[in-house]
Amino acid sequence: MDGKTVGIIGFGNIGRQVAERMRSFRTVVVAYDPYVPHEVMEKLGARFTDLDELLAVSDVVSIHVPLTKETKQLIGRKELAMLKDSVVLVNTSRGSVIDQEALVESLRKGKIGAAGLDVLAKEPPSSTDPILGFENVIVTPHIGWYSEQSSSTLQENAALETERILTGKTPKHPVNPEVISKRRLP
């Protein structure tokens, strides 16, 4: 990874953690997220760029966005064509963020070096889904986060958040912070 460029699409909590980890590998990190101030990215060692440049310069592209109208098929034929032929494309966000038919086409043409997909457009995939037939594609069933430690941490944090709510405190990790900030919990 030394000297490679890692492009991070979506610079929320997960995208930021990826950026932090990439520093250990001495990579160049570029990031695209229209909702995050550039200063936040720079503080974590990432350079803000637009999506087109990110796709063109990255050796690895890692996607961490929610599925919205704006992000549905964010990576389509046009965007896949901008990628280096040797790129490793990683999607751990939502399957429909990538046009999966276009991805299959790009893989068949050798326009993608490899893909790591924790999510697919249709889950679970059928056994005849063409994405499953490539040797340079790894597919996991939306469990890329899982380890014994992460499972234990998840359970512990859920219990602590429940305790905070039941004792009238504001949760540290609300699912919808806008709702929490507008009303006081009982």
- b/e code 80-118 from CB counts within 10 Å (16+ = b): bebbbeebbbbbbbbbbbbbbebbbebbeeebbbbbbbb
Active site residue 142: yes
Q: How far apart are CA 72 and CA 69, in angstroms?
A: 6
Active site residue 184: no
Q: What type of residue is 80?
A: L
Distance of CA 46 to the CA centre of its chain: 15
Among 123, 156, 163, 173, the one annotated catalytic:
123
Cβ-in-10-Å burial (0-12, 13-18, 19+) of 161 comes to middle
For residue 124, cis peptide bond before it (omega within 30 degrees of 0): yes
Helix or strand holding residue 152 (H, E): helix 148-166
Q: Of how many residues is the chain composed?
A: 186
Among 47, 53, 105, 142, the one annotated catalytic:
142
Active site residue 94: yes
Residues marked active site are found at 94, 123, 142
